[in-house]
Amino acid sequence: MIKKISVDELAPGMEIVQLSADVWHQLPYLYAKPGIIKDEAEIRRIRAKGFLQTFIRLAPSPENEGLSDEERPEKLVNIREGDPRRKPRKPFAQTIENARKAYTEALAQTKRIINDVKMGRQVDYISSAAALEGVIETAMQNSDTIICLSKLSRYDSYTYSHSINVAAISVVFGEYIGLSRAELTTLGVAGMMHDLGKTAISNRIINKRGRLTRSEFEQIKKHPVYGLNILQKSDDIPMSVLRAVEEHHEKYNGTGYPHGLTKDDISVFGRILSMADVYDALTSDRSYKHAILPNKALAIMYGMRDQDFCAREVQMFIKCLGIFPSGSLVRLNTGDYGVVFESNPEKPLLPKIKVILDEDLHPIPAQLVDLAIPDNGNALKIMECADPAQHKVNLRPYFIAHKDLPQQEEKG
């Protein structure tokens, strides 16, 4: 099990973990060289170089022994007391088409807003809220469709997709914890607009692939306040949106920016955006890095509890998205591969899947199986998540008809 800690907590013998999360290797304050810490002198050197945090592997304990990082969130969500309510949902197949339209409409609005800001125009709150109605509607009917689209959504450049993914994931989580319809709208708009301040920062820094210098990172750290300044030029942006945008990089333990707020001093919307932002950044496939599998990303986020996130809230987030979020490719006990269509909040290991590939990764006629029904024929079980990129599997056609696929592009 991994855990994010302050370098002040480092001790000889601890193992620094190699994370495949390139998104953090850019950060100047995260120590990420894998290996065992030899002695105090090494810790002093790490501290002297100005590193502040690192990820370590926790020694096995009776509580977590024998469990892989992928299994731990499952244990975690199973021990949670009392589930937030989850309304009856419409079947995935009846909702996916509306979800796709809603996602596309919200994406178009995101582009308009970013363009407006670049042109010096005010942000249009009313039309942004209206463009999110479809996303909220489908999140309430069947949140799997929206999560699935956000996972498959190399629809456009990362900037646009990421904004709308953060909005969609935040709304799904907000619906899960019982926010009102009006709150979901403001939360969604906050997600859509959370990184608007990046338009005020040089593209050279925003798109830099290597580690940022400290002064470059100081520039990046200004984007929440820049975003706030941009939004304050419009009269009708709700205070909850302004706060969420300003606070989406604050961290539970006070090490975030711009203000170093802690715990409940960070608004609820700010805390939700922060989790959605990290989850989408980890699981998005950009031209220079591969996406981390959803279950791995959730395990990493669990390792950030008490540091970046409130432990209870990140547990709820994991529970909401499920161990195998829809859109995940999974390997089955038969050797065949399936894609997760509908998560099962009560039984996270038993979602509805579509079996699509045989053990040699050859396509087979798609067969929908509900793993929660004991009598599903073959007692199918999920063995592990598989990486679509590694296996060169394109999952998009299984969710969306070919003719509807928008052009893919990547502008960074």
Residue 189 Cβ, how far from Fe ion at the closest point, in Å?
15
Closer residue to Fe ion (CB): 37 or 196: 196
Q: What is the rounded distance in angstroms from the CA atom of residue 62 to the CA atom of residue 73?
A: 16
Where does this chain touch Fe ion (CB under 5 A) — which range of 34-42, 133-141, 192-200, 292-300? 192-200
Cis preceding-peptide flag for 91 (omega within 30 of 0)? no
Q: What is the rounded distance in angstroms from the CA atom of residue 154 to the CA atom of residue 406?
A: 9
Residue 116 Cβ, how far from Fe ion at the closest point, in Å?
19
Q: How many helices (H) and strands (E) does the chain have?
A: 16, 10
Residue 250 Cβ, how far from Fe ion at the closest point, in Å?
11
Cis preceding-peptide flag for 258 (omega within 30 of 0)? yes
Residues in 230-259 that interact with Fe ion by CB under 5 A: none
Residue 255 Cβ, how far from Fe ion at the closest point, in Å?
15
Map residues 147-186 to x or -, x wherever contact with Fe ion holds by CB under 5 A. ----------------------------------------
Q: State the number of binding residues for Fe ion (CB under 5 A).
A: 1
Q: Using CB under 5 A, which of 69, 144, 195, 308 touches Fe ion?
A: 195
Closer residue to Fe ion (CB): 195 or 280: 195
Cα 101 to Cα 131, 138, 161, 174: the distances in Å are 11, 10, 14, 21
Token readout for 346 is: 């009560």
Residue 308 contacts Fe ion per CB under 5 A: no
Residue 273 Cβ, how far from Fe ion at the closest point, in Å?
8
Gyration radius from the chain CA atoms: 21
Reduced DSSP (H G I as helix, E B as strand, rest coil) percent helix, strand, coil of the chain, to 5:
45, 10, 40
Where does this chain touch Fe ion (CB under 5 A) — which range of 168-176, 187-195, 289-297, 377-385? 187-195
Cα angle 143, 146, 152 (rounded to 5 degrees) comes to 140
Beta bridge partners of 368: 354
Q: What is the rounded distance in angstroms from the CA atom of residue 410 to the CA atom of residue 412?
A: 6
Closer residue to Fe ion (CB): 151 or 162: 162
Closer residue to Fe ion (CB): 195 or 313: 195
Where does this chain touch Fe ion (CB under 5 A) — which range of 42-50, 194-202, 203-211, 238-246? 194-202
Residue 336 contacts Fe ion per CB under 5 A: no
Q: Tell me which residues touch Fe ion (CB under 5 A).
A: 195
